[in-house]
Chain A
Amino acid sequence: QVQLVESGGSTVQPGRSLRLSCAASAFTFSRHGMHWVRQAPGKGLEWVAVISYDGSDKYYADSVKGRFTISRDNSKNTLYLQMNSLRAEDTAIYYCAKDRLAVPIIDYWGQGTLVTVSS
Chain B
Amino acid sequence: QSALTQPASVSGSPGQSITISCTGTSSDVGGYSYVSWYQQHPGKAPKLMIYEVSNRPSGVPDRFSGSKSGNTASLTISGLQAADEADYYCSSYTSSSTRVFGGGTKVTVL
Interface residues of A (CB under 8 A from B): 35, 37, 44-47, 50, 57, 59-62, 95, 100, 103-112
Contacts and interface: CB of A to CB of B under 8 A. Distances in A.
B54 interface: no
Interface in B1-22: 1, 3
A105 B52 contact: yes
Main secondary structure of the interface of A (DSSP, over half): strand
Contact of A106 (B3, B52, B91): B91
A45 B89 contact: yes
Contacts of A37: 101
20 contacts: A35-B99, A44-B89, A45-B38, A45-B91, A45-B104, A47-B100, A47-B101, A50-B97, A57-B97, A59-B97, A61-B98, A104-B34, A104-B97, A105-B93, A106-B36, A108-B48, A109-B46, A109-B47, A110-B45, A111-B45
Given A35-B99, A45-B104, A61-B1, A103 B45 contact: no
A107 B57 contact: yes
Interface residues of B, number: 26
Interface centre among A45, A60, A106, A111 (most CB of B within 10 A): A45
Interface of B: 1, 3, 34, 36, 38, 40, 45-48, 51-52, 57, 87, 89, 91, 93, 96-104
Contacts of A105: 34, 36, 48, 51-52, 93
A50 to B, nearest CB: 7
List of 8 A-B pairs having minimum Cβ-Cβ separation, nearest first = A44-B104, A109-B45, A47-B99, A104-B93, A45-B101, A105-B51, A105-B36, A107-B48
